[in-house]
Structure 1
């Protein structure tokens, strides 16, 4: 894995955009979406007190396979025999209670098979937070250096890379076409009901892209927006930002769901913003969720 050394520093974390301003930028979304973002504020100053190495890319299928083969670890989607989620051309979201875009859980789907073709240089998906922890622990033991998931603050610091715009590529969703693999015209061909939510353009990929296929952010990190959601270390707390410490926040001491960040190849641009927070139970395995690791000095 390639890593980029990021300096200690400080930044403003979160977003204070109003529902009205967001509605002007994303007019295709239902207005109720903009009233569900209380956990993005208040904007607060965060100081990262030590330099750290951030994975230049998301963990790939090939890297995860080498970990599984060398360690003997059995990913949760296989171990509990319930599988993950996957794309199926014959599956109709409208026929299900949840209306989920993907079929699952089903044992046929796992990190090895998200329902679409991936090569070894695509980001691994259908991996749980617990799988990510196992990978980091094995790497740490094998190499004698500490690997871990980034904290949520480290992740946003790395994603913003000195910017304060919605994306490290700029304010406008179309800026993502050269910087991120998100839900675009290419993907919308497979989900025509969500066509209005697609970025106005074609980024060249309907599903995951090989890592590093798009332009890096100003600090040389690839796919911080899009391609695969990335687990971070923190528990999620709706009100945590109001009490977050200045130095190296670690998130709530307890919780029920872990945070994931950055959006994916199937994510609407609105949810790929640097400030947007999403979360799942630690044993969630989903065809959009992957891993990026940190290595400590």
Structure 2
């Protein structure tokens, strides 16, 4: 129960009381009192990222929680409060790894509330405000996580109706450390709040099909058009997810971007065609663009029929361009028994590396040409000589470290750290080469040659995580500055290299190198402004 503490006698009173029920002293202002729910939940301030959620704490255990509560006006309406409590109780019975856990339901004549587990991390909205957009493979992976959650809800008759980036938290998977999405907000306050005396059959509910009438709807750009007409089913969630995917990939909303006026936003939702995805992101495949357009069709019968059909379509857009590397230890450097090792590779010792995504392949000539076309950048004549468009499936070369870094940032990625690169190449067991300890053969890698090979030409050389071409073909720039004596001094978790230096590290050897340079522990270095006919790169990404 929400209470006010009498400053004179210490008695707890319902926060609807004006005077103390025991000593009749004025209870004073609500803000000056201790705000309590259910006798054990202390209610703190609203979250800056989502004002409808309040921070809270269990006064007995100290557990930090989130609290979603009805407004006082809504709570005083018995039918509204009853609907809220009923639906909150159903939510409490839902258990899914991507749904926030309901800890308690407070049935209070003055302030019904739901107490939720507080996830670590940040909202997707906050992340996009900082980073603008996600790499396409990561956005698709996030979309598939949300599809699995929606499938679970729909099987139980629950339609979310208004997925938003504000209501989704990015946390970390406890086993892998990889990003893990949590749906934290079911929009209860918006859907259930009523003017006193209104018939509850005309109101929104969490689980039912009806929503607030159009004149009472507070629209968001994620809402399906039919929600504005008091209709909704599972396809409404497919629409919202399409909007989220578009936003994750581009950093913009497909309709109503930047619109604040509710009337104008409703018009945009109902009639504005989505922005053409490939105008903003030319590297997006036509298959992915068509998938999102169908998900965001104005009419429900023009969308995918259900979650299963949507998942199949989205999986068809997944080209495995990035692999996932879970958090954990690996052996960096060379063993004393390795006769090919150099002093800069010692000592060999275990390091801890946080989870990250890594490109499965080096960046290709075709991909870099697409980048140049999208950005309007021009490369020197020597670069064009080494990378004509007809060499599209070869790894791009003759790029400086700065150009590699700029490309990675354009994709929403970064260059891997030296430690990340080595872990992606050799896994956790300290193997000498990506494929194991067997000396390189022509089927493993492109080496001791005069020419590059098409990427993915050597599947037998795959690393434990599925990366290809991490030995031979092209030397790969990484983020770190080079130092020959860094290893003995580096931290044992997520080392990022020296703070400064004259040269940047390259890894993996190239088509001109011999077998020794193809070892996972082998290190190269060049001035970051230098170009070489065997210098390329690949991209990485991690949640931070």
Q: Counterparts of 1:262 and 1:271 in 2: how far apart (Å)? A: 7
Indicate if the aligned counterparts of 2:387 and 2:396 stay in contact, CA closer than 8 A. Answer: no
- Alignment check: 8 A CA contact 2:415 2:540 kept: yes
Residue in structure 2 matching 1:22, options 311, 334, 339: 339
In 1: Cα distance, 2:388 partner to 2:357 partner = 31
Matching of residue 271 in structure 1 with residue 517 in structure 2: yes
- Residue by residue over 1:34-76, the C-alpha shift from the partner in whole angstroms, topping out at 9 and shown as x without a partner, is 6xx2110111221012x2110000000000000011112234x
Is 1:138 paired with 2:442? no
SS in 2 for 1:177: coil
Q: Aligned to 1:229, which of 464, 470, 475?
A: 475
TM-score by length of 2: 0.39
Kindly indicate whether the alpha-carbon contact (under 8 Å) linking 1:39 and 1:239 is maintained by their aligned counterparts in 2.
Answer: yes
Partner residue of 2:430?
164
Q: Distance in 2 between matches of 1:270 and 1:116?
A: 30
- State the partner residue of 2:362: 58
Structure 2 equivalent of residue 150 of structure 1: 416
How far does the alpha carbon of each residue in 1:89-146 deviate from its partner, in whole angstroms, 9 at most, with x for none? xxxxxxxxxxxxxxxxxx5x21x22299962111000011010111122222xxxxxx
**Separation in 2, partners of 1:222, 1:246:** 27
Q: Does 1:289 align with 2:519?
A: no
User: 1:146-184: per-residue Cα shift (whole Å, max 9, x none)?
Assistant: x0000000000000023322212232323x42221111x
Q: Decide which of 312, 315, 331 is 1:12's aligned counterpart.
A: 331
More helix by share: 2
- Preserved contact between residue 236 and residue 279 of structure 1 (Cα < 8 Å): yes
Check whether the contact 1:57–1:222 (CA below 8 A) recurs between aligned residues: yes
Give the Cα–Cα distance (whole angstroms) in 2 for the partners of residues 44 and 69 of structure 1: 44
1:178 to 440, 443, 450: 443
- Secondary structure of 1:159's aligned partner: helix
Q: Is the 8 A contact 1:232 1:261 kept in 2?
A: yes
CA contact (8 A) 1:44 1:241 kept: no
Give the paired residue count: 222
After TM superposition, list the pairs within 5 Å mapping 1:42-121 onto structure 2. Answer: 42-49=347-354, 51-75=355-379, 78=380, 109-110=382-383, 112-114=384-386, 119-121=391-393
Equivalent residues of 1:4, 1:220 under 8 A apart: yes
Q: Runs of 5+ in structure 1 lacking a partner? A: 24-33, 79-106, 141-146, 188-205
Partner of 2:212: none
Matched residues in 2 for 1:7 and 1:129: separation?
Answer: 26
Does the aligned pair in 2 maintain the 1:208–1:265 contact within 8 Å? yes
2:350–2:492: 8 Å Cα contact kept in structure 1?
yes
Which residue of structure 1 aligns with residue 452 of structure 2? 208
Query: Is contact 2:472-2:508 (8 Å) kept?
Result: yes
Distance 1:115 1:11 in 2: 35
2:539 and 2:387 mapped to 1: Cα distance? 25
Secondary structure in structure 2 of the residue aligned to 1:163 = coil
Q: Aligned partners of 1:218, 1:282: CA distance in 2, in Å?
A: 29
Which structure has more relative contact order (CA 8 Å, sep 6+)? It is 1
SS of corresponding position for 1:54: strand
Report the alpha carbon displacement of residue 214 of structure 1 after superposing the two structures with TM.
0.7
Give the aligned partner of residue 219 of structure 1.
465
In the alignment, the residues of structure 2 paired with residue 248 and residue 274 of structure 1 have an alpha-carbon distance, to the nearest angstrom, of 18
Give distance in 1, aligned partners of 2:447 and 2:529. 24
Deviation for aligned residue 1:284: 1.0
